[in-house]
Structure 1
Amino acid sequence: MKKIALFFLAATVSLGALAAPETYAIDGSHTFPRFEYSHFGYSTQVSRFDKTSGTIVLDRAARTGSVNVTIDTTSVNTGFPLFNEHIQGEDFLDTKKFPTITFKSTKLNFAGDKPGSVDGDLTIKGVSKPVRLEVTSFHCMPHPLLKKDACGANAVAKIKRSEFNAGKHAPYVGDEVTLTIAVEAVKQ
């Protein structure tokens, strides 16, 4: 009887260890938030931010976790230096007053055994709004070069830039912006 009790105790401890939350640091060299908008109806412009940091915490057994992302707004990359300066100006990102954009999750929503969406607060120019990021892909595995566990995902949301005090030239320059975040993170 003692052996059976010890077996169940050991199994319970082992299962508890498997259910522990895991923390991942965002890999800034493989994480690039992008934004897309209509430019006078002529084309869809796509730009990105080159500097992103943060953490992702996952407890896949409990289907919970958190996401905290910080984007350096001075790293905006439109592909054209003069336009980078324009986007950083007061009418749009106002990077002198607001050098970061943040996303802080309030809830991870799982679809089966993987995150399907992330609810949270997006803060741009000091204005916070609830946003749902739809996770379009999610994959975890041992990183072949770093020899550590890593996870990657793509997430998408649509926002209106006018709701964040960045609506200059709307509606000619599209008010609706599609945010796409390609993220990779390494287990700590």
Structure 2
Amino acid sequence: MKTPLKSAVALLVALPSLAFAANWEIDTAHSSADFSVRHLMVSNVKGSFAGVKGTVNVDEKDITKSTVDATIDAATINTNNAQRDAHLKNPDFFDVAKYPTITFKSTKVESAGEGKLKVTGNLTMHGVTKPVVLDVTGPAKESKDPWGNFRSGVVATTKLNRKDFGLTYNQALETGGVAVGEEVSVELNLELQRKAAAAPAAKK
């Protein structure tokens, strides 16, 4: 049986580049939330959300106490078809006027092998909150960009049933089945930028 100390060491190994930097910010310009769903029972339609922002806070003493807090702008949905995107934004699906954001707040971080993590959290979408588990690869080895910023990145995947979040719209097909599948495959590609340390307070 692993001791708590050994477990903590294992998690530090899983997060080598972030172990000494507590606060990271999601770079919205270089991050996306991608998804794929079955269409007409014959093909997969892919899309993405571009407006991903949030923070990743790493506890240097206990990685299991690290947290993720992310927000997605639902109105940035893009499936490369303007008519379909407009339908996805209306009350039949995401109803972005009423529910403008999708949020994820972590509740648990666990090691899942070398370079792998399982991050459990509460996903709120379309006004419904459900627990989900993200399978995370990374973070990538920290590097410095041309402007002197330290960066890393992670890829996280999961599968959701859209009906669990009240996204129930569908159309029956004459040949049987439905127009839009219920299971949605999700992949998050997040580029992280290390936040600058706060300046010490001036002495009075």
TM-score range, shorter chain: 0.7 to 0.9
Equivalent position to 1:176, from 156, 159, 183: 183
Within-5 A mapping of 1:35-54: 35-54=35-54
The CA deviation at 1:140 is: 3.2
* 8 A contact 2:154–2:189 mirrored in 1: yes
Within-5 A mapping of 1:1-188: 22-59=22-59, 62-64=62-64, 65-111=66-112, 114-169=115-170, 172=178, 173-188=180-195
- Once residues 147 and 182 of structure 2 are traced to their aligned partners in structure 1, the CA distance between those partners, rounded to angstroms, is 41
Dislocated runs of 4+, deviation >3 Å: 18-21, 111-115
Report the residue type matching 2:159 in the other structure. K
- Once residues 138 and 21 of structure 2 are traced to their aligned partners in structure 1, the CA distance between those partners, rounded to angstroms, is 21
* Residue aligning to 2:3: none
The CA deviation at 1:20 is: 6.2
Q: Structure 1 length as normaliser, TM-score?
A: 0.84
The CA deviation at 1:137 is: 3.8
Say what the alpha-carbon RMSD is for the aligned residues: 2.0
Q: 1:49 to 1:19 in 2, by over 3 A?
A: closer
51-60 vs 175-184, which moves further = 51-60
Q: 1:39 to 1:19 in 2, by over 3 A?
A: closer
Once the two structures are aligned, what percentage of the paired residues are identical?
33
The CA deviation at 1:59 is: 2.8
* 8 A contact 2:21–2:194 mirrored in 1: no
* 8 A contact 1:19–1:62 mirrored in 2: no
- Once residues 151 and 25 of structure 2 are traced to their aligned partners in structure 1, the CA distance between those partners, rounded to angstroms, is 9
Report the residue type matching 1:25 in the other structure. E
The CA deviation at 1:158 is: 0.5
* Residue aligning to 1:8: none
The CA deviation at 1:42 is: 1.8
- Once residues 123 and 166 of structure 2 are traced to their aligned partners in structure 1, the CA distance between those partners, rounded to angstroms, is 13
* 8 A contact 2:111–2:118 mirrored in 1: yes
Q: Pick the structure with more strand per residue.
A: 1
* 8 A contact 2:38–2:44 mirrored in 1: yes
The CA deviation at 1:35 is: 1.1
Gaps in structure 1 of 5+ consecutive residues: 1-17
Q: 1:112 to 1:134 in 2, by over 3 A?
A: closer
Report the residue type matching 1:186 in the other structure. Q
Q: 1:60 to 1:115 in 2, by over 3 A?
A: farther
Gaps in structure 2 of 5+ consecutive residues: 1-17, 172-176, 196-204
* 8 A contact 2:116–2:137 mirrored in 1: no
Secondary structure at the residue paired with 2:84? helix
- Once residues 70 and 57 of structure 2 are traced to their aligned partners in structure 1, the CA distance between those partners, rounded to angstroms, is 12
Q: 1:150 to 1:59 in 2, by over 3 A?
A: farther
* 8 A contact 1:117–1:133 mirrored in 2: yes
